[in-house]
Structure 1
């Protein structure tokens, strides 16, 4: 008889999970910082015209209006050019109320600096752009910028 019992040979020691929460939180933090949230999903074609003098626009005080023909995924909307504001197709008459609502949702200090960016497809007729600009005038939103590509085509 032996005084000491022999332990089982070949057992693997348990894996330490003490550092697992640190690794998970580090990965979570990395993906939160590195991920860009999409502003809106485009329902229209948007091939912007080119320009040779462009300036970067601050997004914290800007609302974008897209205009163009519906993309291939949204052919049920027809073939006529449409207006998109955020994630909704709107009519010309709804531009004023949509812009005023977006402006009122801003922080009060940024409301006087509110800018509307027009992202208009280069195949869109100027009559639609003129109608949009007229509605913006009626909403007293006079700071309008045309968004283009950096290269002139």
Structure 2
């Protein structure tokens, strides 16, 4: 009769990798859901002034961002070096502001439309003439909640 011997402790059991693709896809899905993508590509250079007392805006979906500054180097041949207004992804003129505001309003529920804030991100080197024109057009469009964006002393941009 043959004698059988048991192998004890010589080989460790293999780790199952069957659930690894599921874990990878769950992580991928999680990061896709929580990542906030930038709304627009900046075509104007905006270096906001620094401030010490800042208030953070609560609901970012209720904010219209209006950028005012000189075009970046790659757009200077097309738009020149004078200060420009950027609404969303395109360089615009002051007369385009009411349409921009209306396009943002229709995306929101009826109850939240009165809570919309326009945030002006203005370069520190820009003269107040173009800023005053934007403010006047916002007032005529009945957009009375205006916020000036500023960077904190630590360099972190806040609203």
Range into which the TM-score falls when normalised by the shorter chain: 0.7 to 0.9
- Once residues 79 and 49 of structure 1 are traced to their aligned partners in structure 2, the CA distance between those partners, rounded to angstroms, is 20
- Once residues 44 and 36 of structure 1 are traced to their aligned partners in structure 2, the CA distance between those partners, rounded to angstroms, is 21
Q: Is the 8 A contact 1:115 1:144 kept in 2?
A: yes
1:47 corresponds to which residue? 47
Give the 5 Å matches for 1:13-28.
Answer: 18-28=18-28
Number of residues paired by the alignment?
Answer: 139
1:5 corresponds to which residue? none
- Once residues 29 and 91 of structure 2 are traced to their aligned partners in structure 1, the CA distance between those partners, rounded to angstroms, is 35
What TM-score do you get using the length of structure 2 for normalisation? 0.79
- Once residues 142 and 61 of structure 1 are traced to their aligned partners in structure 2, the CA distance between those partners, rounded to angstroms, is 13
How far 1:53 moved relative to its partner?
1.1
- Structure 1 residue ranges, 4+ long, deviating more than 2 angstroms after superposition: 33-36
1:29 corresponds to which residue? 29
- Once residues 142 and 107 of structure 1 are traced to their aligned partners in structure 2, the CA distance between those partners, rounded to angstroms, is 19
Which consecutive unaligned segments of at least 5 residues does structure 1 have? 1-15
2:91 corresponds to which residue? 89
1:134 corresponds to which residue? 136
Which consecutive unaligned segments of at least 5 residues does structure 2 have? 1-15
1:110 aligns with 2:92: no
How far 1:17 moved relative to its partner?
6.0
How far 1:33 moved relative to its partner?
4.3
1:75 aligns with 2:69: no
Deviations 1:29-77 (A, max 9, x none): 3432453311211000000011111100131211100000001121121
Structure with bigger strand share is 2
2:61 corresponds to which residue? 60
What TM-score do you get using the length of structure 1 for normalisation? 0.82
